[in-house]
Structure 1
Amino acid sequence: MSTTTTSQTPESEGPGRPGRLIQNEATTEIPVHLLFRDDPDPVSVPLRPTVVGRRQGTGEQPRFRRPAATPRPVPQVDPELGERPARVLPGAAGVLAGACGAAGCVATSWWAGVLPPLAAAALRLPAYAGAGLGPAQWAAYAGAGALGVVGFGGLTRGRAGRAWVLGLFGRYRGTVRRTGLLWVNPLVLRRRVDVRLRHWRSEPMPAADGNGVALRVTVLVVWRVRDTARAVLGIEDHETYLRECVEAALARVPVETPDGTRGPAEAAGDALTRLVSADAAPVGLEVFSVQPVRIEYAPEMAAAMNRRRIAALDAQHRASVLTSVVDSVEDTVTRLTVRGLVDLDDYERKALVKDLTVAFCVGRGEQVP
């Protein structure tokens, strides 16, 4: 009696289909009918991207697409807020108005009969008994006094390099850049602004070099106020804003280290100038230059970086001395053998090279290892 053994194929695998090489492989199958379609308009067929899972056990990590960098928002100020000239009069108009008011007060006093005799004699006014202080006299006093106060109270002096920002009841009324004696409405609020070319030397600010080493940097900023309306009304304090812009730029730009291992300081200064100018322009500030004038390591890094710098200088010095000694030994041995002064085999050549190396190192004051 014979026994026949029949091998059965698992239902999960077909008779002609090979087994999987990687048992834990995870893939997504795409139906064949989606690859060959007779649809004349392929745009109308929505295709979804197929996501293939990572293969477990192979060390492959899922890949993520880095999101596109969004542009940094630019500070915006009220677009309608911009510097414009204010309406002012020459100072002569204010002096004339004040003089007229004072003359009106004197005339009213003479009319009311309260002008002292000495003042009347000095002014060469005729004697007049006066009508007394009645309603008409008080009204004349009020009008003449108001004219004198407005005339003399609106006088101001405009200086070169200084400007006045005028506001009335919270509304911007213009900027005065004229010089000399001027008359400005005494009811408006005046804010003085320095529009000269200015420079500011900062205190040591935190920064870092290209390797992330902490630094302390002192910068020199050359700037001026270009738009007085935006600088005074568009921001609370433009000087504080400029200082914070410089500090923010130092946090983004790598600065040259004190030992000069990074790029030139001019490159860092140009990058700082571009960043600070872009941030300060919307508020009416014009920045011409932002240059580092003093760079030093942070206190917590100064000792370690000083030791590292000394070690690098010592290694560089030793390398240069060793190169010089090797060149001298090679030149000496070559001259002795070429001129036929000595005839050396390999052992004697090695001994001579060793003795010359020791002699040259001792002569240069170096320790022989």
Structure 2
Amino acid sequence: MDTEKINKPTSGYPMIALFLIFLIGGILGLAVARLPLSAIFVVLAIVMTPGFFFVNPNESRVLTLFGEYKGTVKNNGFFFVNPLYQKQKISLRARNFDSERLKVNDKLGNPVMISVILVWKVKETFKAAFEVDDYVSFVRVQTDAAVRKLAGRYPYDNFDDHEEEVSLRSGLEEVNHNLEKELEERLDIAGIEVLEARIGYLAYAEEIAQAMLKRQQATAIVAARFKIVEGAVGMVEAALAELSKKQIIDLDEDKKAAMVSNLMVVLCSDKDTSPVINTGTLNH
């Protein structure tokens, strides 16, 4: 037996009536009728007591008899089983696990801090009860192991490898999907169903955080400058074309070069330019 088996026990209400009959009848027989045999009914009532139990919604009881698995009770209600059965309580409710922030190395060897949020529940009570010692602890340990493995498969960002399309920071949808798949494979042995798994916290480790921040800022500045220059070239090109088309002024190559230089300085400068008024000719 290596799979879950559903046990449908006897309702506890008829048996509680029988229990009261044995108990009250035995006590009355001893106290009123003075019948020694009435003690048997009292003993039977006491023996029946461990057989009663109840199951709340989204809970279960795993039944064993002298080490032999007898099934799992998942129905809600009040029940009675063999008083010798051992009844292990296992919750079927969804649970939320927020892992600690772990320091791990990404694909490029950079130390990063990462944590994961996992939503899970017990799917197969047999595996949860007998395949692992403590299924709650098993979930914690395997989640940490899965996070470490996942972080080593992706770079934090694609600064050093522009051909790498997926990174921990930019490819969260794919990363979270692979994290769920990894956890499902690891936790299946304990009968655990993964409802959701996603990265909850992600950042560079403290020792390189400032350096990486400056690197990100420099990359953003270079990208912004590239866009500015690209736009400025288009504006200068359009200006020269309009001046030539409308014949507003006749510019030779030297004057065009000077105009282009001045416009590029004005358009690409990160500070306000100071205009200079020429009171002479264009050649001075």
TM-score normalised per structure 2:
0.81
- 1:315 — aligned with what? 222
Aligned-pair CA distance for 1:343: 2.5
CA distance in 2 between counterparts of 1:261 and 1:281 reads: 27
For residue 9 of structure 2, what is the aligned residue in structure 1? 88
Q: 1:86 to 1:208 in 2, by over 3 A?
A: same
Pairing 1:5-84 to 2, within 5 Å after superposition: 80-84=1-5
For 2:126, give the aligned amino acid: A
Contact 2:118 2:194 in 1 (8 A): yes
Higher helix share: 2
Q: Give the Cα separation in 2 of the matches to 1:355 and 1:82.
A: 81
Give the letter for the 2:38 counterpart. Answer: A
Secondary structure in 1 aligned to 2:203? strand
- 8 A Cα contact 1:93 1:151, kept in partner: no
Residues 251, 83 of structure 1: CA spacing in aligned structure 2 closer, same or farther, 3 A cutoff?
A: same
1:184 correspondence with 2:71: no
For the 8 Å contact 2:51–2:85, the answer to whether it is kept is no
- CA distance in 2 between counterparts of 1:211 and 1:99 reads 72
What's the CA shift string for 1:254-278, capped at 9, x where partnerless?
A: 3574799735211111111112111
Does residue 109 of the first structure (1) align with residue 7 of the second (2)? Answer: no
Alignment of 1:89-238 (within 5 A): 89-102=10-23, 103-112=25-34, 137=36, 139-141=37-39, 143-238=40-135
Preserved contact between residue 99 and residue 144 of structure 2 (Cα < 8 Å):
no
**Aligned letter for 1:104?**
G
Specify the alignment match of 2:206 in structure 1: 299
Stretch moving more, 350-359 or 269-278 = 350-359
Unaligned runs of 5+ in 2: 159-164, 275-284
Aligned to 2:271: 365
- SS of the residue corresponding to residue 33 of structure 2 reads helix
Residue 334 (1) aligns with residue 232 (2)? no
Query: Matches of 2:207 and 2:65 in 1, distance apart?
Result: 53
C-alpha distance in 1 between matches for 2:196 and 2:252 = 69
For the aligned residues, what is the CA RMSD? 2.7
Separation (CA, whole Å) in 2 of partners of 1:366 and 1:208: 44
Higher Cα radius of gyration = 1
Matched AA of 1:269: N
- Taking a change above 3 Å as real, the CA distance of residues 83 and 261 of structure 1, as seen in their structure-2 partners, is closer
For 2:137, give the aligned amino acid: T
Is the Cα contact below 8 Å between 2:26 and 2:38 reproduced in 1? yes
1:144 CA displacement = 1.8
Opposite residue 309 of structure 1, the aligned amino acid is Q
5+ residue gaps, structure 1: 1-79, 113-135
**Partner amino acid for 1:365?**
K
Q: Which range moved further: 197-206 or 272-281?
A: 197-206
CA distance in 2, matches of 1:352, 1:310: 32
Paired with 1:110 and 1:151, the residues of 2 have a C-alpha distance of 24
Cα distance in 2, alignment partners of residues 231 and 154 from structure 1: 23
Distance 1:149 1:367 in 2: 98
Counterpart for residue 240 of structure 1: 137
Identity across aligned pairs (percent)? 24
Q: In structure 1, how many angstroms separate the alpha carbons of the residues matched to 2:88 and 2:47?
A: 19
Does the 8 A contact of 2:49 with 2:83 survive in 1? no
For residue 21 of structure 2, what is the amino acid of its counterpart? C
Residue 343 of structure 1 aligns to a residue in which SS? coil
Shift of 1:314: 1.2
Amino acid at match of 2:185: A
1:279-290 aligned within 5 A: 279-290=186-197
State the alpha-carbon separation in 1 of the partners of residues 79 and 157 from structure 2.
53
The equivalent residue for 1:33 is none
Q: Which has the higher strand share?
A: 2
CA offsets 1:171-220 (integer angstroms, 9 cap, x no match)? 32221112111113333222110112333232323445443333222322
Shift of 1:336: 2.0
What code does the residue aligned with 1:311 have? A
Matching residue of 2:180:
273
Structure of higher RCO (CA pairs closer than 8 Å, 6+ residues apart): 2
Q: 1:188 to 1:258 in 2, by over 3 A?
A: farther
